[in-house]
Chains A and B, each alone.
Chain A
């Protein structure tokens, strides 16, 4: 690309970032021109977010070069990035809920009048003027609390404009917006482009990329893949660039005998979160719930287990009804739940391995209301041995174990209850590659013992390698049900982005 340098407002070259053994960004490249909207595409985990955080000054890259407006930059903080003229608008902006809209825009830079006191009226007027320029109507004096996500994003954009930003990065801004709100955001984005600002737009919705963007950069596995002129490319070409990888037999699921339906979910709905979710999971079967972040997968899983309430529909385990919100009954009937966030929801980090393992057994282990600690240790040893948890001693705090071993403790905790149905939300998130295969082997082994498993996963290779059946969700609905044979990366990706809608069997 032989471009005069003054056309380019932002250029990141060969940026890398690792967190311990995890390579979040191997080779991040992007070049944004003045007056263009540049799409950044890639699967979950392709490194887009890390790249954005590098640009935002949240992460300091291990290597690479960053140029903003022709000047070499080394950001040490968010403030540096802002000072250089970069503003990032996140999917869910962090405003101060108790402060007024105007104050959220100008915090730390409030208009001041006599005696250096804040002139609230002038500040409100300035905010109102920004909103008029953007063609939106938000009351500058109302508190930010209760604003829709769309309005919060507009406020972030107004803030960026008031700081005279040169580059605006929008990280999946449309994921939580309605159609009308998306149109309003696009109108604002085009207006900014026409004023010569550079915009980076991250989205999983191809129709939006084609409607809004001028160029698109594709990333995969933390690396730059290609840059396309949007008018010269197709959805197919972009999808190929995004998934084009060998996903052979990384995670082999062993064949298991598939039995009768264990879990029957019928027409499950929760207003605004998911609707009309219907599926079965059979004994020995692994069903993957795939889709993009925010599609409502975890929410469905939580509702089945009873953490959140569903509003209509039914959940039956082995033919017995589980009412909305009744986690206790779910567990008693043989359901287990391995949550996405181990540290916060799956484990009590300060407690010992033994205590964590037997948390679900307190009733069985108690004699006269007190827990028999010898029986507790026996039960803990049995299950941690079976799952080969590597810990110094059962008395060590769980927080001292590695991510993979922590996940095994969570699994052990549920296996000790001898469940019939297990929900596993993002089984290998944050677990290093070596241990991943081991966790997968374990899950496959569980299915082999006749446990029905619902696996929520954002990682395509995991979904394709492990699942007997794949359910794909998009915006709160199941958009495709694919058998192991039919499921391939492109089909799942398209169903997840809403580009196709397959009849659900």
Chain B
């Protein structure tokens, strides 16, 4: 390189991505396509699947999982995870039963407020431990998973509360519809929209992506990493609290084992929905669609009269497929880059 020119070097112009390109690039695309395919195939074999009652059932089944997946996605995007959500659901749902049993006249909105605050408090415990102790959230929340469940066991003992113990209007939230959508589904849709705006269009929300993308760089950048991660856990806790109330509305009994094992399905929903498990990318919308897909699989396989055993296997295959597609793409990019960025070697 002996001569250096003054002019900027001409490069092939890079036109702005078209609408279509952006859709094709979206991480929600594979999961949405899978969902449409699944529904299409099921309807072809069983037209009743998309009847108004069928749709209502699908949404009711998915609603709680969708809210949980949104909360979990917010945490995962920061390169953390919350394994304790199943236990949190159990505690909150049992609290709902206890509240109504103690005072059957208690206003329903107050129950929501108390339980969301309770969830936020549990989330704050996770967040505080993770950010203060600087221990991976995986370990912290594995611990709180057992602690919360233990508290639930001690509190509930053998006691269960049934739907009959709760006011009818409370149960009706998951029965009555507005424009064909159950009320609790409308709550979920509002939550998804709010979370999507918060993560996509506020500076604090974008910080979460930066943190998950490269925590060290985020720190160097002056992003308050700890307080943002703490907030993510609190928001997830609050949403889990909300989901716990809806759970008590939707299902007949709540007791010591309510919500056991739900955390893995929640995380699976987020991952299948395109939320990268190591943070930085994915959207809450994708996570919600992931939850819808996983619950729909169960329903459609039942509608197609497929053995229950296969349902879990198919969920597993979906998780592996979504992770492997990611990996293959990134490996290929890495190799291409190594060659294209090489000097005159």
Contacts and interface: CB of A to CB of B under 8 A. Distances in A.
The 3 closest A-B pairs by CB, nearest first: A135-B8, A272-B342, A98-B280
A179 B344 contact: yes
A19 B8 CA distance: 42
A103 B17 contact: no
Contacts of A275: 345
Interface in A27-61: none
A183 B9 contact: yes
A207 B4 CA distance: 10
Contacts of B217: 94-96
A186 B8 CA distance: 9
Contact of B6 (A94, A142, A146, A190): A190
Interface stretch (B49-57, B109-117, B160-168, B208-216): B208-216
Contact of A137 (B5, B12, B340): B12
B154 interface: no
A379 interface: no
Contact of A99 (B15, B22, B201, B213): B213
A452 to B, nearest CB: 27
Contacts of A184: 8-9, 11
B202 interface: yes
Given A78-B220, A116-B202, A187-B9, A273 B213 contact: no
A94 B214 contact: yes
Given A188-B8, A273-B342, A476-B345, A99 B212 contact: no
Contacts of A211: 4
A211 B341 CA distance: 23
Nearest to A135: B8
A362 to B, nearest CB: 29
Given A273-B342, A475-B345, A79 B222 contact: yes
Given A97-B214, A99-B210, A141-B22, A110 B203 contact: yes
B343 A108 contact: no
A503 B172 CA distance: 87
B206 A178 contact: no
Contacts of A126: none
B156 interface: no
A195 to B, nearest CB: 15
A77 B222 contact: yes
16 contacts: A78-B220, A94-B220, A98-B212, A99-B210, A107-B206, A107-B210, A124-B16, A128-B16, A141-B17, A148-B340, A176-B341, A179-B344, A180-B9, A271-B339, A275-B345, A477-B345
B16 A139 contact: yes
B197 A117 contact: yes
Nearest to A212: B4
A182 B206 CA distance: 32
Contacts of B276: 98
B345 A274 contact: yes
Nearest to B2: A207
Interface in B39-59: none
B8 A97 contact: no
A183 B5 contact: yes
B23 to A, nearest CB: 13
Contacts of B345: 271-275, 296, 475-477
Contacts of A95: 217
B214 A96 contact: yes
A149 B341 contact: yes
Nearest to B219: A78
Contacts of B8: 134-136, 184, 187-188
Contacts of B134: none
A150 B7 CA distance: 17
Nearest to B222: A79
Say what secondary structure dominates the interface of chain B.
loop
A136 B11 contact: yes
Given A107-B210, A118-B202, A137-B11, A146 B344 contact: no
Given A98-B213, A98-B281, A117-B202, A182 B22 contact: no
A392 B186 CA distance: 67
A117 B201 contact: yes
Contact of A118 (B203, B214, B343): B203
Given A107-B221, A135-B8, A96 B203 contact: no
B308 interface: no
Interface string A466-494: 00000000011100000000000000000
B1 interface: yes
B214 to A, nearest CB: 6
Contacts of A254: none
Interface size class of A (residues with CB under 8 A): 35 or more
A110 B337 CA distance: 29
Interface string A110-148: 101000111010001000100000111111111001101
Task: Report which residue of B8, B200, B202 has the largest number of chain A beta carbons within 10 angstroms of its beta carbon.
Answer: B8
B202 A273 contact: no
Contacts of B338: 271-273
A184 B11 CA distance: 10
Contacts of B220: 78, 94
Contact of B341 (A212, A272, A274): A272
B333 interface: yes
Contacts of B319: none
Contacts of A138: 14
Contacts of B213: 96-99
Interface in B127-167: none
A366 to B, nearest CB: 32
Contact of B344 (A183, A186, A475): A475
B7 A187 contact: yes
Contacts of A146: 333, 337
A477 B342 CA distance: 13
Interface string B317-342: 00000000000000001000111111
Interface string B14-26: 1111000010000
Contacts of B16: 124, 128, 139-141
Given A96-B218, A178-B344, A179-B344, 11 more contacts: A96-B209, A110-B206, A136-B11, A137-B11, A178-B343, A183-B4, A190-B6, A212-B4, A272-B345, A476-B342, A477-B345
B13 interface: yes
B263 interface: no
Interface in B181-207: 197, 200-203, 206-207
A110 B1 CA distance: 39
B281 A139 contact: no
Nearest to A145: B333
B301 interface: no
Contacts of B13: 137
A420 B14 CA distance: 54
Contacts of A476: 342-343, 345
Nearest to A141: B17
A396 to B, nearest CB: 25
B5 to A, nearest CB: 6
A210 to B, nearest CB: 10
B209 A272 contact: no
B223 interface: yes
A96 B217 CA distance: 8
Nearest to B276: A98
A199 to B, nearest CB: 15
Contacts of A186: 4
